[in-house]
């Protein structure tokens, strides 16, 4: 089983790849009625809300620039608040669920039609 810290790192790497790879118009397309940028912003916010020890995240603007700033904030968050070796059961459950939700949202975006 992949450690939670690594799973979060992979997710953040996937979002970084999307930022570099997707054309600007892709961020405004909709998936299940919501703009793609909203989905990505929600992935980053869900993870940040559950990251142990760190302050509540600032709202992520669902734009390419907002996502880029949120990724930079994530780099600082992970450096300032490394994931403890041992999490309480509640922390582990919350973070595991957040990672699972984030992974599902990114998969939904990956499967969405690219009209």
pLDDT digits (tens, 9 = 90+) for 32-60: 788 888 888 988 988 888 888 888 888 89
pLDDT digits (tens, 9 = 90+) for 44-101: 988 888 888 888 888 899 888 898 999 999 989 999 998 888 888 998 899 899 899 8
**Per-residue three-class SS string for the chain:** CCCHHHHHHHHHHHHHHHHHHCCHHHHHCEECCEEHHHHHHHHHHHHHHHCCCCCCCCCCCCCHHHHHHHHHHHHHHHHHCCCCCCCCHHHHHHHHHHHHHHHHHHHHHHHCCCC
Count of C-beta atoms within a 10 Å radius of residue 114: 7
Confidence grade of residue 112 (pLDDT, cut at 50, 70, 90): low
Domain residue extents for the chain: 4-111
Q: Is the pTM of this model over 0.85?
A: no
């Amino acid at each position: 089983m992949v450690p939670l810290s690594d799973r979060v790192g992979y997710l953040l790497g996937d979002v970084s790849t999307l930022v570099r790879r997707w054309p600007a118009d892709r961020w405004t397309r909709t998936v299940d009625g919501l703009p793609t940028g909203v989905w990505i912003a929600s992935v980053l916010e869900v993870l940040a809300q559950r990251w142990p020890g760190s302050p509540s995240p600032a709202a992520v603007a669902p734009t390419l620039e907002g996502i880029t700033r949120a990724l930079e904030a994530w780099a600082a968050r992970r450096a300032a608040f490394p994931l403890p070796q041992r999490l309480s059961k509640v922390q582990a459950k919350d973070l595991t669920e957040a990672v699972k939700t984030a992974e599902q949202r990114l998969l939904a975006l990956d499967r969405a039609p690219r009209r």
